[in-house]
Structure 1
Amino acid sequence: MKNEIKKIIIEEFSKLITNIEDDFKKNYKKKNHNFLLSELDDEMTANMVFVSSFESKSGNAIQECARRIAILKYGKKNVPRIINPHNLDINNINIDEENLREQLLVTDVDLDNDKLQSGIQGFMTLNQAKGRGKNRTKCNVTQNTIKELLDLSKYKDGKIHLKPVDLAFFDGNDWNIIEIKAGGDLDSSNAPGNAKKMLTIYVGLNCKNSKLYFATIYHKDGEGNNWSGSIKKYLSYPDMFLIGSQFWNKILPDGINFKEFTKIYGEAIKEINLNSRLRLMIQDCIK
């Protein structure tokens, strides 16, 4: 299993680094127009370009790693590309499943229906955290209360709708729908929209045996510490969250924990020569 996980990381992150290499010089040259960076030396600027590109483009690589790792634990049948728990007829829908780089939810619920969206918004407003200090009331959007939203699945229009999902798998008892972020440090303007999107997908899945999670690939406040994030106003913490090690331990095969996974990741990154390839990219730009 360790070798399988390493292979997954090597394959997905090799694609990522190649993608960064392809447009690194172009992105570096764009920084020449940013006067705020004019006093920084070329190597420092190039490092900033790499970090920015790595963080912005790593999302797809992480999602694919997570999906493939989840297959090791739950089996390919339970981590499908096409999520169609109600066996809806999609023979007339043109889906190139072999070339998909994401999972797709198939639903007959009209997720853009005004009444459905209004119902979700009303539910969020009623149950979100309110007040401050001693007068603060906790968010009541929990794995239990969101089942109320399944009543909104009645809004159907006779069509098939597709919705991208970061990660979805069936664990033998429940469908798990997971929104994946890097550190999860959303600003206050993005948090409600993100929560609403997640709840919309939950309604589209339309399964009583299902759970919804906001996950982060690392704990931005440090493992073992309380996680802070504006989305906690709209989703009950910790019930609706998988932060850092909790997320990876949820999908890692039995016998491999988060600590071991980080070691495997480090070994894989060394094997794809990330540091040497970064140095070559920088040298090629600043020479």
Structure 2
Amino acid sequence: MIKEKIKDIIKEEFLLLLDNIERDFKINFGKKQNNFLLTKMDDEMTAHMVFVSSFESKSGNAIQACARKIAILKFGSDNVPLLINPNNLIVPDNITEGKEQQIITDVNFESALIQGKIQEFMTSRMGQGKGKSRIESTVDQNSIKELLSLTNLKNNCITSKPVDLAFFDGICWNLVEIKAGGDLDNTNAPGNVKKMLTLYTAFNNENAKLYFATIYNKNGEGNNWVGAVKKYLSYPDMFLIGSEFWTKILPSGITFDEFCTLYQETMQEIDINQRLKSMIKTCCN
């Protein structure tokens, strides 16, 4: 049954996550106790803070792994490979399958010239102004194809570039950068967008779409998502926010609300609250 398969995926990845948190919990708790700003807080409150901080910082890999495995349920393993080779390049022996998906490329994406051109493309099309006079970013699924003109700057060396999630949906490839809530500030947003555009350039195939995705809408499902990335990417064309992301990869017949329910049921089954209580006990007694 497809729902059980989704729960098994969540359970496997989040049990690994909890194991990793438990392994480092005492060390991280000790570090917090060295913070004089927290000296008036009791140990149990500090331990809760340690858990939440660790859970948020380490859950990215778990969610990324869940997303890939769930996408396989919908599109098949051949369309969600670990090694993505859209141009049928000869893969060198030093590039092997790992836990992350990798794009095989012969584009010199580290070239200063290419990086300069990508930067120019991004900044010349970014949004300007506020309110009614605001001009939105023109970096969209169509305009990014201009970046493929840079791919004649090859270095005759086949390398790989990691991608959070890539899948072929039967029509085109989808390259996805995944964040938790996507709450990047004005300092981090441009670097993240440039990384995405570099990824698209390295992919070097016009039959692809590029997305900035979040696993939840930090402004609340159904509300307008607000974030600094919108200054550099056309919204909503280049975005998959919260339910839009999960709906894109969930198998037919499974809604986003049902997925959230499956996640909550799985967290209850692995008894995440008891695991947290045990970690707190080891530090506070």
Q: Distance in 1 between matches of 2:184 and 2:16?
A: 27
Equivalent residue, structure 1, for 2:170: 172
Equivalent residue, structure 2, for 1:196: 194
Q: Distance in 1 between matches of 2:95 and 2:206?
A: 29
Q: CA deviation at 1:106?
A: 0.7
Q: CA deviation at 1:203?
A: 0.6
Q: CA deviation at 1:208?
A: 1.0
Q: CA deviation at 1:196?
A: 0.3
Q: Distance in 2 between matches of 1:267 and 1:132?
A: 43
In 1, are the aligned partners of 2:75 and 2:168 still within 8 Å (CA)? yes
Q: Distance in 1 between matches of 2:159 and 2:135?
A: 36
Paired letter, 1:82? L
In 1, are the aligned partners of 2:95 and 2:159 still within 8 Å (CA)? no
Q: Distance in 2 between matches of 1:20 and 1:234?
A: 35
SS state at 1:253 partner = coil
Equivalent residue, structure 2, for 1:271: 269
Equivalent residue, structure 2, for 1:39: 40
Within 5 Å, give how 1:45-194 maps onto structure 2. 45-95=46-96, 97=97, 100-194=98-192
| TM-score normalised by length of structure 1 | 0.98
Equivalent residue, structure 1, for 2:10: 9
| 169-178 or 86-95, which deviates more | 86-95
Q: CA deviation at 1:242?
A: 0.3
Q: Distance in 2 between matches of 1:19 and 1:140?
A: 42
Equivalent residue, structure 1, for 2:208: 210
In 1, are the aligned partners of 2:216 and 2:243 still within 8 Å (CA)? yes
Q: CA deviation at 1:273?
A: 1.0
Paired letter, 1:208? E
Runs (4+) of structure 1 exceeding 3 A deviation are none
Point out where structure 1 has 5 or more consecutive residues left out of the alignment. Answer: none
CA deviation digits over 1:187-237, x for unaligned, max 9?
A: 100000000000000011111110000000000000110000000000011
Q: Distance in 1 between matches of 2:75 and 2:123?
A: 36
Point out where structure 2 has 5 or more consecutive residues left out of the alignment. Answer: none
Q: Distance in 1 between matches of 2:92 and 2:27?
A: 42
SS state at 1:157 partner = strand
Q: Distance in 2 between matches of 1:267 and 1:136?
A: 44
Q: Distance in 1 between matches of 2:254 and 2:132?
A: 42
Equivalent residue, structure 1, for 2:226: 228
Paired letter, 1:103? Q
Q: CA deviation at 1:92?
A: 2.8
Paired letter, 1:235? L
Q: CA deviation at 1:94?
A: 4.1
Q: Distance in 2 between matches of 1:155 and 1:174?
A: 24
| TM-score normalised by length of structure 2 | 0.98
Q: CA deviation at 1:93?
A: 2.4
Q: CA deviation at 1:133?
A: 2.6
Q: Distance in 1 between matches of 2:160 and 2:18?
A: 30
CA change 1:205–1:161 in 2 (3 A) is same
Instruction: Please tell me the root mean square deviation across aligned C-alpha atoms, in Å.
Output: 0.8
Paired letter, 2:20? N
In 1, are the aligned partners of 2:92 and 2:158 still within 8 Å (CA)? no
SS state at 1:179 partner = strand
CA change 1:197–1:118 in 2 (3 A) is same
Equivalent residue, structure 1, for 2:281: 283
CA deviation digits over 1:251-287, x for unaligned, max 9?
A: 0000001000000001111111110010000011000
